[in-house]
């Protein structure tokens, strides 16, 4: 049954959720190509894409991942557990974001990009993985709480804008623990580990809440 469910998800996956991140990827590739001779600008754009753009797109897509299904009622009529629905829908979204993030790193390296400001290659990956998971969890939970996909996307956009504008203030205060951009834009911050652990905990809590809400299928039919 789970194999059939995954096949259904792949067959019904909307192409706009593929072209949307790919178009942003292409746009930023053009930007970094134009900035190839300006090393600082190239890396600033790369860090902005990985730490800010990838998570934002992932969060917006996650808001539409579950409820934006024209055959949702029929899907709920099948004996598929809520956790599996979340896993396959959000998993597809995350895989697309992972592909674009990794491909962009390859482009940056080919253009002479230098990731030495990060402690290690693993920290480069955490810089986009953790904020992407956090905003995806928020988008999914927001959509399920309101039973509307657009509300989930709005939650993601509001949090993203507020944190982007107030990132300096947040980094100097207790907001540093929930600053999704810290890994990419402030890799030298002394509280980076605490920030990463907090984002993991928040992501897990949001996903658990989303799972609990999705089990109440009558809210979305």
When pLDDT is averaged across residues 44-51 and rounded to a whole number, the result is: 94
pLDDT for 65 equals 86
pTM over 0.85: yes
pLDDT at residue 82, rounded to an integer: 83
Distance CA 171, CA 18 (A): 33
The dihedral of CA 22, 27, 31, 36: what is its sign?
Answer: positive
The pLDDT tens digits for 144-155 are 999 899 999 999
Eight-class DSSP state of 176: G
Q: Would you say 59 and 138 are in contact if contact means Cβ atoms under 8 Å apart? A: yes
| pLDDT tens-digit series, residues 95-128 | 999 999 999 999 999 998 889 999 898 999 999 9
Place of tokens 């090393």: 39
User: pLDDT digits over 162-188, tens only?
Assistant: 999 999 999 999 999 999 999 999 999
pLDDT at 97: 95
- pLDDT for res 143: 94
- Share of residues in the chain with pLDDT > 90 (%): 67
């Amino acid at each position: 049954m789970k194999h059939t469910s995954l096949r259904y998800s792949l067959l019904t996956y909307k192409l706009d959720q593929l072209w949307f991140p790919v178009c942003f990827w292409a746009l930023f590739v053009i930007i970094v190509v134009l900035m190839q001779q300006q090393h600082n600008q190239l890396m600033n754009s790369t860090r902005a894409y990985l730490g800010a753009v990838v998570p934002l797109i992932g969060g917006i897509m996650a808001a539409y991942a579950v409820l934006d299904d024209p055959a949702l009622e029929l899907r709920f009529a099948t004996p598929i557990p809520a956790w599996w629905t979340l896993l396959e829908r959000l998993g597809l979204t995350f895989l697309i974001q992972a592909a674009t993030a990794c491909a962009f790193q390859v482009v940056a390296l080919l253009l002479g990009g230098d990731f030495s400001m990060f402690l290690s290659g693993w920290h480069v990956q955490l810089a986009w993985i953790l904020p992407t998971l956090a905003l995806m969890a928020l988008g999914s939970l927001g959509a399920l709480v309101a039973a509307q996909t657009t509300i989930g996307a709005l939650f993601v956009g509001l949090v993203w804008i507020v944190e982007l504008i107030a990132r300096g203030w947040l980094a100097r205060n207790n907001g540093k623990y929930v600053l999704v951009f810290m890994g990419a834009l402030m890799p030298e911050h002394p509280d980076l580990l605490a920030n990463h652990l907090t984002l993991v905990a928040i992501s897990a809590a949001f996903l658990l809440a989303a799972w609990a809400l999705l089990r109440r299928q009558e809210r979305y039919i």
